[in-house]
């Protein structure tokens, strides 16, 4: 990844965020290449997630199946109750007061569906269309978790990269733009040296990112159309199905390895 520096990001991202007066950027996000952004998400911030959200509870590094379940839901479609194959809880934010919680892809699907409801209302009432920030924020969560699988499940990495490319293409964005949204969001949430989740602040950040204009005065991020958001909805649903298939492959591998280990005479085990 690029060389860290301690200069703050551009002023537009330092002011006006409710409840958070200044963001300290230890990397210059807009100067990072797509490869550096993907590495930051898949490796650096995965380590920060472990340090901030799992180590305090003496939980081991999240396993690959845990990340897939975080994306698609466990047996009960509730990530606060889902456990990996070793029996470890995959979610830590609500250990003291667990509550039912969507997995990331269903949450993104729900947000897109809700956007269409709001858009219909705006058309009926002749008011401005709803902001796409909320769906983009939820999609950024999907990107964040899929990127971790590049590190946790590298043998399947080509497939995960293709999922990211398909999601970005469905929105009419480049992969770099999609990664940029996720990096900005998680630089706030986990990249400040602590864990902090504030939806208002995160949406404020993303709103400013997608409002940027080029030298020609045109938006750098074209708002996704209804057709594009519908395509994204279907793409995410397809990715969810593929990830569930991969989860079953992981489960089978895990069970076969246990059986294989059990067949080895104890005198031959290390």
What span, in angstroms and rounded, lies between the C-alpha atoms of 246 and 260?
21
CA-closest candidate to residue 135, choices 65, 233, 50:
233
Mean pLDDT of 234-244: 98
Band (16; pLDDT cuts 50, 70, 90) = very low
Whole-model pTM: value is 0.88
Structure tokens at 135: 């769906």
Which pLDDT score is estimated for 23?
A: 55
Least confident window among 74-83, 171-180, 231-240: 74-83
Least confident window among 92-106, 130-144, 148-162, 163-177: 92-106
pLDDT-above-90 percentage for the chain: 74
* pLDDT of 14 strictly over 90: no
Does residue 171 contact residue 232 with C-beta atoms inside 8 Å? yes
Least confident window among 25-34, 113-122, 229-238: 25-34
What span, in angstroms and rounded, lies between the C-alpha atoms of 38 and 2?
12
Structure tokens at 195: 């864990």
Question: Is residue 259 packed enough to be buried (19+ CB in 10 Å), middle (13-18) or exposed (0-12)?
Answer: exposed
* pLDDT of 88 strictly over 70: yes
CA 142, 148, 150, 152 torsion-angle sign:
negative
Which pLDDT score is estimated for 10?
A: 39
Which pLDDT score is estimated for 20?
A: 40
Half-sphere exposure of 21 (CA within 13 A, CB side): 0
Does residue 65 contact residue 84 with C-beta atoms inside 8 Å? yes
| Exposure string for 111-124, b = 16+ CB within 10 A, e = fewer | bbeebeeeeeeeee
Q: Taking all residues of the chain, what is their mean pLDDT, rounded to a whole number?
A: 88
Question: Is residue 78 packed enough to be buried (19+ CB in 10 Å), middle (13-18) or exposed (0-12)?
Answer: middle
């Amino acid at each position: 990844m690029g060389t860290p520096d301690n200069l703050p990001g551009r002023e537009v991202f330092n002011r006006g965020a409710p409840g958070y007066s200044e963001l300290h950027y230890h990397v210059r996000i807009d100067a990072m290449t797509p490869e550096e952004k993907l590495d930051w998400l898949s490796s650096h911030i995965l380590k920060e997630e472990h340090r901030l959200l799992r180590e305090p509870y003496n939980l081991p590094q999240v396993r690959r199946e845990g990340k897939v379940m975080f994306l698609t839901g466990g047996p009960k479609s509730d990530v606060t109750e889902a456990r990996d194959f070793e029996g470890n809880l995959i979610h830590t934010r609500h250990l003291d007061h667990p509550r039912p919680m969507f997995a990331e892809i269903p949450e993104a699907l729900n947000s897109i569906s809700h956007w269409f409801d709001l858009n219909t209302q705006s058309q009926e009432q002749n008011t401005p269309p709803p902001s796409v920030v909320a769906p983009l924020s939820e999609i950024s969560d999907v990107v964040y978790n899929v990127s971790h699988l590049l590190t946790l499940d590298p043998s399947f990495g080509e497939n995960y990269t293709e999922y990211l490319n398909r999601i970005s293409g469905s929105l009419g964005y480049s992969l770099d733009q999609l990664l940029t949204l996720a990096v900005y969001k998680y630089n706030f949430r986990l990249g400040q040296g602590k864990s902090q989740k504030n939806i208002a602040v995160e949406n404020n950040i993303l709103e400013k990112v997608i409002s940027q204009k080029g030298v020609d005065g045109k938006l750098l991020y074209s708002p996704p159309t209804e057709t594009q958001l519908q395509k994204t909805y279907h793409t995410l649903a397809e990715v969810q199905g593929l990830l569930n298939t991969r989860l079953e492959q992981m489960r089978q591998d895990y069970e076969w390895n246990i059986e294989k280990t059990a067949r080895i005479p104890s005198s031959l085990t290390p």
